[in-house]
Chain A
Amino acid sequence: MKKLLLLLMWLSPAIVYAQGFQVNLNGQKQIGMGHTGTGLLQDGASIAFNPGAMAMLPENYLQAGISPLWFKSGFNGAGTNDVAFTKNRVATPFNAYGVWGPKDARWKVGMGVYTPFGGLTDWGNNWQGKYVLESLDLKSIFFQPTVSYKLTDYLSVGAGFIYNYATVDLQRAIPITDPDGNTGQARLKGHGKGYGWNAGVFIKASPEFTIGLNYRSEVKTNIKNGDAMFSVANSAQPNFPQPNTFEAGIPLPQTASIGFGYTASPKLLLALDVNYVGWHSYKELAFDYASNTPTLQDTHSPRNYKDAYSVRGGAQYKTCDKMAVRLGGGYTTTAVKDEYVTPEVPDANRYYLTAGFGYKVTNKLDLDFSFEYEHLFSRTQTNIESNLSGTFKSNVYIPGVSLAYHW
């Protein structure tokens, strides 16, 4: 008769990928220059930056790069002395492009494989916010076949179709204690797909001055039949039926960019990009479980993101025919409003500084290094959904290397 309504506390899992999950690492030459490239003709990475520029590329390209990423974040609970740090795990955003067209043709075709979104945050299973999140590993790979056409000598256009393959692996603790004092564990693991497109226009306003316009559509990505694994004390397990699956949708946002390139001298190239990211489409995160119980309900977590903007600038100086040094930086506004900051990505306004070095191994082979440092401004928040209260501080360190073969 002591009828127990076992409405155990179960907050919705919260995948949030913020601006921080927009991984602006689409080409090493571009990263070196503050990740500018919408208005430049650097290499095959134009497939991602501006498909419209592809037909203007003087050569064909086959290239690949990788940017191991260390996201170092710390959390200090409000009023406590305790500080938690993310574990030392490395995400590996990469990019690979192929661009081809006959010599002197007005068109080029290309294929890009790159990772514009993703994130890896691992706080471990014994920190203050473990019931909000232990770890999240989100990967998203865009496959983009692209065509570009040169309308005149000073104007070209291009567009590509995007197929996105995404994987997610989220873990968090459930506040149900077993006889040995262990907490329950939830793990949501799955993969999904989405579609979109990427188009752009490239203008050679003068021999020195170039302009690029780019729009990449929202890519609504759906995860179906993901594994929803819950492990709690046996007596509470019926509240979390196993096996179980989940469905979730992630609207990877649209972006619009305008970029300018200015060749100040044969040795010096300057670039400026302005981006808009349409995060406002991310209103809520919903998880639909195949088997529900009074404890395990479908969840709808408000996100209410706001659009984000960034300004980036960079320069490339050719110290000789074979070598180039690059510098750049930028500033990005956060997509996450106050009270919505979560440990998945403790997003905040950020600035970044980049450096790069290019070396022509042969006339046809470029070796490029890049390094990016990002600093997220300290953010003290109480989350509206979890009441997790404290200060997040994050720095990101991203070295990178690429090889480009061109002919």
Chain B
Amino acid sequence: MKTLKNYLYISAALVLLAGCKPSFENPKANKGTADFTRYIAVGNSLTAGYADGGLYLEGQQNSYPSIIAKQMALVGGGKFTQPLFTEAQANGSGYLKLTGFTPTGSPITTTVTENTAVRDQISVPGFGNVILYTKYSGDINNYGVPGIKLQQIMYGPYGNLNGYFERLLPGAPPTNNTTYLDFVTAKDFTFFTDWLGNNDALGYATSGGAGDVLTDKTQFSQLYTLSIDKLTQKGAKGAVATIPDVTAIPYFNTVTVGAILAGVQKANPTVKDLYISARTSTDVNNIIYAPRAATAADLVVLTFPTSKIGQMVNSPAGMVPYGLTPYAPIDNQYVLDANEIALTKDYVTAYNTTIKTIAQQKGLAVFDAFTFLNDIKAHGILVDGVSANSNYISGGIFSLDGVHLTPRGYAIVANEYIRAINKTYNASIPTVNISNYRGVKFPN
């Protein structure tokens, strides 16, 4: 019986063992040759965490710089503070919310207007209205300013024209005269990410080539060189990103010429073509627009009110249906036509050549967002059992504005940055689990 007793003891011990988990020894995370003591993020809306057509607290909290900073902290990175909206004003600028679907499956969005941080609206002579937000005073590591172009980073009065920048500055309009570049470099830092330049092409593209201009290539190159020189002046290391192909975003690929035409033809089968006001040349100085039939190579913006199509409007030829004759083509602002696309692509390619060349000269890490997002547009991406692509809403990466990203999209971007940083600086910052980040929120 003694043996039996011993056996029972041994069994009991073994059952306790059953509580043992397998163990993992993570390779020691290290910062490599970089120093993440004070990381700053320089950039525009994408850097700020802008999503769903607005800047709001949840978006800020899921900004790619904040995700990167959390991971940097695992290899000795320092504190990272964002100019967050308060809980009471969590909706920031207000944003779009998906509230349902029409019977045909089209999404219905509603703008959130309560609990915003809007404090005032001023009119700047010669510029227009500027919405002002509750001031933020405190540490800043994320300097993302929605709307800013590279072209504007040396412009002193810019702080009076952009409410998101004004919010970070101590002064009130029209007294602000600190350039963006001076503002972000005022306090020392050891590492930076820089994703400026998108709006230099995107502003032109999203306005259908009507409301904005492309930043001159030479000016872009000069300012980019200047800004990187200044950012690296005191020995900081960093990572930069290229500018995505503007045609890779759902803002231009959701409402298509074919879909509009099919809708019209359902009611009126005799309609053959949509007409648009299209640029006649890809020469940047030759700005002549003429009506012509639209093709699949012309991209219609997401915000185009399709109900306008077919409405009777005044024209030189009398009352004609909007968009269906050369006499009343779809307005320029709603269409990025084939020549405008070619022009934009040419500029983006030049900008990216500048970015990559300078990054190489300075030994900076590069996240090639242009290639990465084009690849997602072409093939989608599959991470941890979640397949994502560039489709509007269902794709999971782009938020409801069709330009900016969802938390899932920003997390994917953060991981790409981390991979680029790890590669260039021989570091091993851990990446994040994409499955912890959401896509678009669906209503109940």
Chain A residues in the interface with B (C-beta under 8 A) = 1-9, 11, 70, 72-74, 76-77, 79-83, 85, 88, 127-132, 173, 175-179, 181, 183, 232-236, 319, 323, 325, 357, 359, 369, 371, 373, 386-389, 391, 393-395, 397, 399
| Contact B7–A369 (Cβ < 8 Å) | yes
Contact digits for B9-28, partner A, Cβ 8 Å, 1 yes 0 no = 01100110111111110100
B259 contacts chain A at the CB level, 8 A cutoff: yes
Chain B residues in the interface with A (C-beta under 8 A) = 3-4, 7, 10-11, 14-15, 17-24, 26, 29, 74, 98, 100-101, 104-107, 254-255, 259-260, 263, 302, 306, 382-388, 391-394, 396, 415, 419, 430-433, 435-436, 438-444
Q: Which of A6, A128, A319 interacts with B435 by CB under 8 Å?
A: A128
A101 to B359, CA, bound (A): 86
| Contact A178–B14 (Cβ < 8 Å) | no
A300 to B442, CA, bound (A): 28
Which chain A residue has the least Cβ–Cβ distance from B302?
A: A2
| Contact B384–A387 (Cβ < 8 Å) | yes
| Contact A129–B441 (Cβ < 8 Å) | no
| Contact A393–B382 (Cβ < 8 Å) | no
Which chain A residue has the least Cβ–Cβ distance from B422?
A: A79
What 8 A-B pairs come out closest when comparing CB atoms?
Answer: A233-B442, A131-B385, A393-B22, A132-B385, A1-B306, A397-B18, A386-B385, A9-B387
| Contact A386–B382 (Cβ < 8 Å) | yes
A391 to B432, CA, bound (A): 15
A88 to B16, CA, bound (A): 12
CB neighbours of A1 from chain B (8 A): 106, 255, 259-260, 263, 306
A323 to B1, CA, bound (A): 9
6 A-B pairs whose Cβ atoms sit less than 8 Å apart in the complex: A3-B104, A9-B388, A73-B22, A130-B385, A235-B100, A369-B11
CB neighbours of B386 from chain A (8 A): 9, 131, 175
CB neighbours of A73 from chain B (8 A): 22
Nearest CB on B from A9, distance (A): 4
Whether A76 touches B24, Cβ cut-off 8 Å, given contacts A235-B101, A323-B3, is: yes
| Contact B14–A399 (Cβ < 8 Å) | yes
Q: Which of B259, B387, B396, B433 interacts with A3 by CB under 8 Å?
A: B259
CB neighbours of B19 from chain A (8 A): 88
Q: Which of B14, B263, B442 interacts with A177 by CB under 8 Å?
A: B442
Beyond A3-B106, A6-B393, 8 extra complex contacts between A and B, CB < 8 Å: A1-B255, A3-B104, A6-B105, A177-B442, A178-B441, A234-B443, A371-B14, A387-B382
| Contact A8–B394 (Cβ < 8 Å) | yes
Nearest CB on A from B253, distance (A): 11
Whether A72 touches B306, Cβ cut-off 8 Å, given contacts A80-B430, A178-B444, is: no
A177 to B441, CA, bound (A): 5
